[in-house]
Structure 1
């Protein structure tokens, strides 16, 4: 093995670990899996498996797109990351509040939901809100865009090695999401019915708080910039 090839392999591995280490804590699949259970209440195991597969695929493609061209798209439309955080934070807040204020469904209604969860519903909900913004929110997109910027290198071969490593890392992240969503119900089974309900409510509250935090992370700098402009006048 030549020293040059070893250098490329090291760069590939570093990029893969950078992606996994950066994105997994932000996405936090075990936590978002509980939100997935709340939003798919009444759905059959087969339906949840199909949704989990679609969500993992959607999130992978979203992160891949942001890694490769995210910064260029934002520059083209003149959109800042702070604006993305504000818009995404509002979406997360709305979803968290809806889950927190929802009433617990009884078994007959859950059965009707299972029957009503048609393939069209699976296709329509797999991306919004389950893939975005629940699983892959604005914080994840912002971090992914930042990682994508760090992959650039004057040498196209080194840039290719880093990009390949990032794609491998994104695949690992998507696989973890698929696993956590696929077995979310089994992971929560030891809590029992009452414990699961409490845990889902707490997760909804955390989601609401997370949305507020994301919103403020974008709104804070925008407000500061507006105040600075006003004082400059």
Structure 2
């Protein structure tokens, strides 16, 4: 039993650090700044559910899929970096989520669906680090109680992430329109820096492997 508790603690600390819901919160705030409270809640719910299903799917089959398609985690980092950079540039120009200002429910629904999947669920919440961690820990979990613990703790971390994102709504309401625009531009710079780190952390090993096969 003590071994199971130790494993659960390892899973919780590693996933909470890698997912970093407190770091995701400002980006969530800027992307949903002019959505209603209900829409923000809906966006957070969809993003965390999609992230959970993706992490669990990779935990059980990620190693097989990566080998079958010849995909490396470094390639995933490069793609994530490109997505982040594009998103950060739009945030810097205060262009992110321009569709939110329309009263067209169909367009708002489409926007919520879009941002829930990318970039919030993937790669913000469910990034290369979380996916790799899930694959490795699932391989280490050689007994069924450990596998169940792994899935349960991942669910707990993502539930906490959901609560943190919901809490961001109160901050967004207090900032107002001008405050949210300033926040969006600042977060745009930070996201672009994250994008560069993602891109080159994935590119460096690939280049080194080409130079020293």
TM-score normalised by the chain length of structure 2:
0.86
Q: Is the aligned partner of 1:56 residue 2:40?
A: no
What is the aligned-residue RMSD (CA, Å)? 2.6
1:170 maps to which of 132, 136, 154:
154
Gap runs ≥5 in structure 1: 1-8, 154-158
Determine the C-alpha separation between the residues in 2 that align with 1:85 and 1:118. 30
Cα distance 1:105–1:69, how it changes in 2: closer, same or farther (>3 A)? closer
Cα distance 1:120–1:190, how it changes in 2: closer, same or farther (>3 A)? closer
Determine the C-alpha separation between the residues in 2 that align with 1:110 and 1:73. 36
Deviates more, 1:27-36 or 1:193-202: 193-202
Structural mapping, 1:65-80, within 5 Å: 65-80=57-72
Q: Is the aligned partner of 1:134 residue 2:124?
A: yes
Map of 2:163 onto structure 1: 179
Map of 1:217 onto structure 2: 201
Determine the C-alpha separation between the residues in 2 that align with 1:12 and 1:171. 17
Cα distance 1:194–1:212, how it changes in 2: closer, same or farther (>3 A)? same
TM-score normalised by the chain length of structure 1:
0.79
Determine the C-alpha separation between the residues in 1 that align with 2:41 and 2:171. 15
Cα distance 1:86–1:120, how it changes in 2: closer, same or farther (>3 A)? closer
SS at match of 1:118: helix
Contact 2:102–2:108 (Cα < 8 Å) also in 1: no
Tell me how many residue pairs correspond in the alignment: 213
Gap runs ≥5 in structure 2: none
